[in-house]
Structure 1
Amino acid sequence: MRLKTFQAATMTEAMDLVRQSLGDEAIIVSTFTHRNGAGVEITAAIEQQSEDDFATPEAQALRYGQGNGRLFVPEDDFAPQDEQHVGDLILGALNWHGVPGRVAERLTQAALRVGLDDPVGALAEALDETYRFPGLSTDNRPLILIGPPGSGKTVVAAKIAARCVIERRAVQVVSTDVSRAAAGEQLAALCRVMSAPFIEAVDARELHHVVGETAETSKLIVDTAGINLHDAAERKALKALIQASGAEPVAVLAAGTDAMEAGELAAQAVALGARRYVATRLDAARRLGALVAAADLGGLAFADASASAFIGKGFERCDALMLAHRLLADPDARSAVDPETDMQYFSPKPAALKAAE
């Protein structure tokens, strides 16, 4: 989704700007008339189409619910030499991303059993068989976002709220992050732009009261402070907030972190009741081993992913095919195994090579 604000002297002129910039399919999110005849302001949104520019044409054409129920259908002429190439490519890429060794070996073996000469398709099948990809629910089930500091919970909360606004669904955003000075101001400002109700709750008792005052027809989104999930006292305080909210805890974890650490954080989130997680910073991280580890070692299911800090861009659907694309997209990941020497190596970017000279 893409959000954009337009200013003009009259409502008619502002609407013309919306149509010229976003087209006739744009949805009006909010309008505001300035005092003393200073003009009007309109915030509009439009769904953005993402391009799988790193996907093969065959991969782009095959999605869930087609063929015999699988993501891909193997070719009849799949040969042993193709199997060796596919296995080396997948294992090398997973190792390059920092996926734990045993997990990488298991996924590679699962991919080879698929019987495809397309690495993306084979890996997608293996991921689909191994993990769950339920996505974020679009109903009014209340959500409370949990995770370590800096993982992107506030941005995720704002994106969920933006989705509700665009779909013309009632929403209530709550922040319990009182650990930092003016911590809720960012989320409050984003909610004002979207005309989404926002309130702060300082503790579990106040949060329980806010939840009781929220209409059942409203989507409740609770943003919490980042905590050390390894600390028992901080987990206890967070658990009190989760119980007071009555909401489903959804973990938020950033890509690019250490895979084993992400797996342990995911396990702590599961102990607090989380069953799904939102992956963030996909636009800023190259190595995505943490995403696989959170699902494998921690046991979390994949929800949507955030590939941009821009609220209007919304989420990227995280399914097995999308994850396989990203794991094999980087040229360095695809060349992580030299077919001539069968040796794994890290191929630095041109900037890294220049710096080393």
Structure 2
Amino acid sequence: MPHGHTLSRPQLVYLVFGAPTYHQEAQFSIVSALANLRKTPGEALDIQVYSDNPEPYQNLPVSVHTLDAATREAWNQPYGYHFRSKHMVLRQVLADAPVAALIDTDTFFHQSPIELFRRIKPGTLLCNAIGANFGSNPKCRLYQSLAALLESRGLADRQMPQLNSGVIGLMQEDASLLDHSIALMDEYYPHANGAYTLEEFCLAVAAYRRMQLNQCTDLLHHYWSRKQLFRAKVQAWLAKHQHAPLSCQALQDVALVNAQLPKPPALHRLGYKALSLTLPSDQRQFLRELMYGCYEYPNEFDRACAPVWWAKALENANARHSRPLCHEQLHQWFERPGMRLSLGNKHSRVRDMLIKRSQR
């Protein structure tokens, strides 16, 4: 998008760089936006992708802006804080567009993205979610390092609502909010003790008492929690549809990649509990968690989460023991008749995968 070229439609913006996983997330998020756009016929938007790798987006109707390392580095200065670039890219888009929303890659839509833009009005900041008040957790790193500083300058107090910046939506006339937020990041970064969330915190401070806050958790799912399970669903969708992401079948399957955590029905979970009683007490929880991945979910994208459930079961078992389980120990666990019987035809697959992980 050449600077100075005015855009009239709402702009959905993605900033994607680094590991292939982030590009996979972004691809699916974009397709979910397009699939749900069909719920608002006659409405249109533009999708802008700022990325270090244009290749993953070649089958999608988006404008890709290749970002070189030098630009990204400049956007992250003066401290190399990489979330600062989120505000920089949105600032750039809003120089030419009446309204824009920057979306994190680990998201997918339930509703038309047009609904996002209906929530962005003059004087309103759209975020993903409005969180607890700043003072609700005095032990939090940012509270301990910044509360007194901010209060003494009248910038924030205990009542300030915090927010999640998985979505940042603004009208062009309110773009100066981003300048204020960037200035706060630059000023407070040295005092923030490396707090990961400084970017969304500074956005909350910049908006406090000046802007209305609006949220959109009902319009899209931001899977920052239980990320591996949702990534498994997304990767299964991509494995099936990457080469024709906008085919009828691909768009139809978008709805099957849903926000539910795949859990077996309650009756099955009770059965797993009973099965686990055949094992020594330190192995029961491990088996019950493995069974979450063994259940034959009717939804193919839920079935794709099996290896994540198994890896999580091992991670939790390691956390319960004073030291990680060695592969000999795991081998013994998997050779127990109760374990063999419970896992059935999945036994070898689960055992081999987890023993391999334990040898890393």
The TM-score, its normalising length taken from structure 2, stands at 0.30
Tell which has more relative contact order, 1 or 2 (C-alpha 8 A, sep 6+): 1
The structure that is helix-richer by fraction is: 2
The TM-score, its normalising length taken from structure 1, stands at 0.30
